[in-house]
Amino acid sequence: MDQSETRIAAWSTPNSFGLLMFTRYPEPGRTKTRLIPHLGPAGAAAVQRQMTEYVLAQVLAAAQGLPLAVEVHFAGGSRSSMGDWLGDRPSYYPQADGDLGDRLIAAFGRSFERGRWGAIAIGSDCPALEPDHLAAAVEALHRVDVVLGPATDGGYYLIGLRQSEPTLFRGIDWGSDRVLAQTLAAAADLGLDVELLAPLTDIDRPEDLPQWEAIVARRG
């Protein structure tokens, strides 16, 4: 079987892409800290809880039609508390130590060790993410090495890879408006093909909240 046939076989196998959702257990005072001055510790934690539940619902809906193995990579809490909160459909893994780059390297490495054809990481703070965005990411990984979903703050809300690429996560100024540009530069240095999805907004700051409130209103 040649390489293209191997990829087709992997694509037709259920759960051949890892979907790595990063989130934090919604403990007041320890999550969404940039929202605390506006909402208070309990209010910020409530937004974290609601957005995580909403984004996970979008992911699980997408997984009904896409070959995605859904994993929740969590900080704070425990496997038991995460399962009690979000149910038993995802698999749960504590995030590795270190900065976000270290945690992404560990999560992608673990996914590819399982023989995944590709892996896609997202956060839980981009409620505008829909199943169509995940379908577009999966399709892009048929064509390119890296797919990125640009965030309007200069970061990214999604990154998908066809193989482990730790260099993409090193030397990045996490939390700054340079994250996307630095990642694109690192991919270019590695000779990787990149495709960009439509830009979306993360809900990190008080000025972002109207977008979340509009989503809640549409649901209601």
pLDDT in tens, 118-150: 999 999 999 999 999 999 999 999 999 999 999
Instruction: Give the residue-averaged pLDDT of 63-69.
Output: 95
Dihedral angle sign, alpha carbons of residues 130, 162, 115, 101: negative
**Separation of alpha carbons 212 and 2, rounded Å:** 47
Residue with tokens 């809880």: 49
> Which residue's structure tokens are 């919604």?
26
d(Cα 51, Cα 57) in Å, to the nearest integer?
10
What is the value of pTM for the model shown?
Answer: 0.91
List the chain domain ranges: 3-213
> 3: Cβ–Cβ under 8 A, 6 or more apart, which residues?
none
> Residue 220: what pLDDT?
64
Residue 26, pLDDT score: 96
In whole angstroms, what is the distance from residue 41 CA to residue 68 CA?
34
Region 3-213: CATH code: 3.90.550.10
Across all residues in the chain, what is the average pLDDT? 92
